[in-house]
Structure 1
């Protein structure tokens, strides 16, 4: 598995907050899906409230 850095921002009560997550995944699409699921679970967000700006290999 490869390591990817997923960055972007999500909507919270005061506006938008930036994030950067290190994810182990077989490809970029899976890393993006894991990030959406993890942020949604941790912060109670819907996928439409999360904007992924980039997925890069670490």
Structure 2
């Protein structure tokens, strides 16, 4: 498998300790902790990831 192209949100900063990174491949969205690049990863179907992002964008803090 080719190496994944990971990216962080444009809202993330180097000082932010609570960041995730995302890499998209056909049919799968990979998610990992930006502080533990060799640690565990989650994998979501694109529709499930979109549903989560949409929910998180509208959730009250």
Decide which structure has the larger Cα Rg and report it.
Answer: 2
Higher helix share: 1
Same fold (TM over 0.5): no
Q: Which has the higher contact order (CA 8 A, sep 6+)?
A: 1
Higher strand share: 1
Q: TM-score, normalised by structure 1?
A: 0.29
Q: TM-score, normalised by structure 2?
A: 0.28
